[in-house]
Structure 1
Amino acid sequence: MNRRTAVELFAGPGGMTLGLRAAGIHGTGVEWDTNAAATRRAAGLPTIHADVRAHGPADFPNATVLAGGPPCQTFTVAGCGTGRDELNRVIDAVKRMGDRQTIYPREFADERTALVLEPLRWALEAIDAGHPYQLIVLEQVQQVQQVWNGYADTLTAEGYHVATGVVATEQYGVPQTRRRAVLIASLNRPVALPAPTHRPYRKGVPQHEGDPRLLPWVSMGDALDRPQPFTVVSNYGTGGDPKNRGRRTSTEPAFTVTGKISRNRIVDAHGNELPRFTAAEAGQLQGFPADHPWSGNDIPQQIGNACPPALAAALAHAIRQPLRAAA
């Protein structure tokens, strides 16, 4: 296949970039956060430290692939929630953009909500300039699925083949449970979301049980080089109530990795405190290599916001391969 070039919006510390590279797609990431940009540069990943709103397709004339994962603060359950409250307005904005109307960030209670519309702006501007992207790969928190469905309607009207859905990252070899809303689109042929390669995690179901056609999900113990079994005590999703703290052993996948992962306690079989996850370990639970050069400040937040490379690779491979005819 010919080598494709990508422009990646909201590129973060490199998760989507590494996944695209695994599928033979190379390019440049646009990232506003100084710390994430420092990590990218330390990893040797081409980076423009800038606001995606200040750029457009004309700045990347050779790019044939558009990728990205817009910030999720206003959509995630752990965030402020204003994006979720305004989902109908966001979906309406997607329709208006398809009609080539201009959308202003001030239309939303939190201007960050409008960032989820940026990939569509880039896609439509490229179409109108006569150089549409051949492939599009997007991911976000699952609460954005309805927005991606709106994207699908607009992109389909522009001639794209589109697939959207919510996927579980442990089913693509990521050692954590994390649900993501994804969109892939191709200008040239039908597409479908990638088939899972690993079994879904179910509490109480042993790793070796399940569909024999799929690989076992990857546990924290499989991913990390820790000398003894451990249990993670997490307050994620508990609303701060200590009684609701979740527990997972090292024989299970991690809870969803967020910027608060360093707060999780780790104990041995007797309840004794063990060292908490290092930045390298947190990165590994997100699917990054152990030697990824995390740089700058607020590294846990960088890791929590990143796209798992294995998920990005699965999406990129799916979009590059023609669908097989049904047997």
Structure 2
Amino acid sequence: MTSSDAATRFLGEPYILDLFAGPGGLDVAARMLEVRSLGIEWDKDACETRYAAGLETWHADVSEVRRNRFHELPAGLNVLAGGPPCQTYSVAGNGAGRKALDKVEKLIHELVAGAGEKEIDEELEKLGGDARTALVLEPLRYAIKALDCENRGKRPFDVIVLEQVPAVKALWQVYKEALETGLPREDGTRVRYKVAEVKTLHTEAYGVPQTRRRTILIARLDKYPAPPLPAPTHHIFNPHNPEQGGPEDNRTALPVDGSAAPLEPWVAMGKVLTGRKGPFEIVSNYGSGGDPKKRGIRTHLQPSFTVTGKVSRNAVRRHPDGPPLDPDRLTIPEAGILQTFPPDYPWDGGDKSQQVGNAVPPLFGMHVLAAALSRPLPPEEKLRESWGRLDTKSARYAKLRTEGCKAPDGCGPNCPDPDGQSSPSGSPDSSRPRTGASAKRSAK
């Protein structure tokens, strides 16, 4: 595999601040690239998984950290990344964010014009509605806050990487304009960025064995080379012509979008779910056209449907030519594999389905970060190597929890209010909406 613009590294020691970090998809990708990362995550369940996986974590509210603890963040953080909560913007959500897009766009312009935090918070109070809608502003507010933070030496983030559902593409375009215009310092000067084309990418085009679309924004400080988008390595799956671009399609593939070689076939889920013996079918937990009776079906010879927070409801059926199946639902490790997490990734805490479904696929994250940071991609097989679970009695585990929760064995004074943080353990199908890995969060 190759990465666009990977020949010239312009950051000696990238250190990523991952907002709305979830259970660690982007952080796993960073580790594969040998890049350090610190994730901020509100949800206790996701933090339990992160600690078990050995990932640097602050169990905290992203908004609260910006308001009250920004100066405590490590000074070396130079890459800002994040996927703000998508539920209010996504097709599957209630659409509150889509209705508020114009209002949020207005607030982006006000931030770039130099509006203060209190002024923006007052505007957000007037906005009302679902508090998650406003969280799409947090990456921009972090980028601006960094410019006048004494603890950071008033140093801007060198690179900004954002991902969201396609419905937020219009806002990412406004972000692009804002970053290119320049973010305001208190002294009236501006810090400008070069921004790649805002584009919606298909994860299966990067070897992920599921169809999933994400809109990406990559920006670098103006003094650096313009950032590229990650070049696709695989074909896109066409549900209307399911053999096209697949392993059985013998037509020659032409390079596209700057890729240096013919594209590889998209990856079928049967290729990675090696524990499933014989052919099988997956029945979607969503109905086509909103009709629950018209649920889609994909075979083991195709990529899976998008892995969502309700992935444990995906029925696995015996193919007419296959043996009996056990179990008849996707397991959490299988769902993680379809997301390209290592097979033994230590999912922990409750509501594991939601954790898995809301995560960034690490393989996709590797491509995006490699392009953003001009890093070569490691062999894809690294994501299939054993990850392992950190010993809860180890010094490393105690250190992670102490740094993340200010307590070695539980939540501490800086953790969010435990009420409503997470569903009861073992309740994978909770319908409560979430952000990152959970949704209930401060509105301010």
The bucket for the TM-score relative to the shorter chain is over 0.9
CA offsets per residue over residues 222-252 of structure 1, 9 Å max, x none? 1111111100111325366343110000110
For the Cα contact (< 8 Å) 1:13–1:39, is it kept in 2? yes
For residues 208-223 of structure 1, what are the structure 2 equivalents within 5 Å? 208=247, 209=249, 211=253, 213-223=262-272
Match of 1:75 in 2: 89
Deviation for aligned residue 1:269: 1.8
Q: TM-score, normalised by structure 2?
A: 0.70
The AA in structure 2 aligned to 1:215 is E
Mapped pair 1:252 → 2:252: no
Q: Which of 343, 346, 370 lines up with 1:290 in the alignment?
A: 343
For the Cα contact (< 8 Å) 1:108–1:114, is it kept in 2? no
Q: Which of 3, 6, 21 lines up with 1:11 in the alignment?
A: 21
Using the TM superposition, name which of 252-261 and 72-81 deviates more: 72-81
For the Cα contact (< 8 Å) 2:285–2:311, is it kept in 1? no
Instruction: Work out which structure has the larger RCO, using CA pairs closer than 8 Å and 6 or more positions apart in sequence.
Output: 2
Partners of 1:237 and 1:99 lie apart in 2 by: 44
Q: Which of 72, 75, 78 lines up with 1:59 in the alignment?
A: 72
Q: Which of 217, 230, 236 lines up with 1:194 in the alignment?
A: 230
For the Cα contact (< 8 Å) 2:286–2:292, is it kept in 1? no
CA offsets per residue over residues 271-306 of structure 1, 9 Å max, x none? 966421110000111111111100011000011110
The AA in structure 2 aligned to 1:59 is E
Say which SS state the counterpart of residue 55 (structure 1) adopts. Answer: helix
Counting aligned pairs with the same residue, the percent is 47
Deviation for aligned residue 1:24: 3.0
Match of 2:175 in 1: 151
RMSD: 1.7
For residues 162-241 of structure 1, what are the structure 2 equivalents within 5 Å? 162-163=195-196, 164-187=198-221, 188-203=224-239, 204-206=242-244, 207-208=246-247, 209=249, 211=253, 213-225=262-274, 226-238=276-288, 241=291
Q: TM-score, normalised by structure 1?
A: 0.94
Partners of 2:233 and 2:366 lie apart in 1 by: 12
Partners of 2:148 and 2:109 lie apart in 1 by: 16
Change (3 A) 1:274 1:8: same
For the Cα contact (< 8 Å) 1:3–1:24, is it kept in 2? no
The AA in structure 2 aligned to 1:293 is P
Unaligned runs of 5+ in 2: 1-8, 183-191, 255-261, 376-444
Unaligned runs of 5+ in 1: 323-327
For the Cα contact (< 8 Å) 1:268–1:274, is it kept in 2? no
The AA in structure 1 aligned to 2:343 is A
Partners of 1:132 and 1:236 lie apart in 2 by: 42
Say which SS state the counterpart of residue 167 (structure 1) adopts. Answer: strand
Partners of 2:277 and 2:114 lie apart in 1 by: 58
Partners of 1:283 and 1:274 lie apart in 2 by: 18
Figure out how many residues of one structure are paired with residues of the other and give that number: 322
Using the TM superposition, name which of 57-66 and 71-80 deviates more: 57-66
Deviation for aligned residue 1:205: 2.0
Partners of 1:153 and 1:24 lie apart in 2 by: 31
Deviation for aligned residue 1:23: 2.7
Partners of 1:215 and 1:238 lie apart in 2 by: 29
Partners of 1:185 and 1:97 lie apart in 2 by: 18
Match of 1:325 in 2: none
Match of 1:138 in 2: 162
Partners of 1:24 and 1:152 lie apart in 2 by: 28
CA offsets per residue over residues 47-80 of structure 1, 9 Å max, x none? 1100011113533221011111111111111112
Say which SS state the counterpart of residue 143 (structure 2) adopts. Answer: helix
For the Cα contact (< 8 Å) 2:287–2:293, is it kept in 1? no
The AA in structure 2 aligned to 1:160 is Y
Partners of 2:37 and 2:155 lie apart in 1 by: 17
Higher-Rg member (1/2): 2
The AA in structure 2 aligned to 1:218 is V
Partners of 2:290 and 2:200 lie apart in 1 by: 27
The AA in structure 1 aligned to 2:228 is A
CA offsets per residue over residues 136-189 of structure 1, 9 Å max, x none? 111111111111111111111121011221000000111100000111111122
For the Cα contact (< 8 Å) 2:285–2:310, is it kept in 1? no
Partners of 1:20 and 1:99 lie apart in 2 by: 33
Partners of 1:66 and 1:317 lie apart in 2 by: 14
Q: Which of 254, 266, 269 lines up with 2:319 in the alignment?
A: 269
Match of 1:103 in 2: 120
Partners of 1:315 and 1:240 lie apart in 2 by: 32
For the Cα contact (< 8 Å) 1:6–1:27, is it kept in 2? yes
Partners of 1:312 and 1:269 lie apart in 2 by: 33
Using the TM superposition, name which of 23-32 and 266-275 deviates more: 266-275
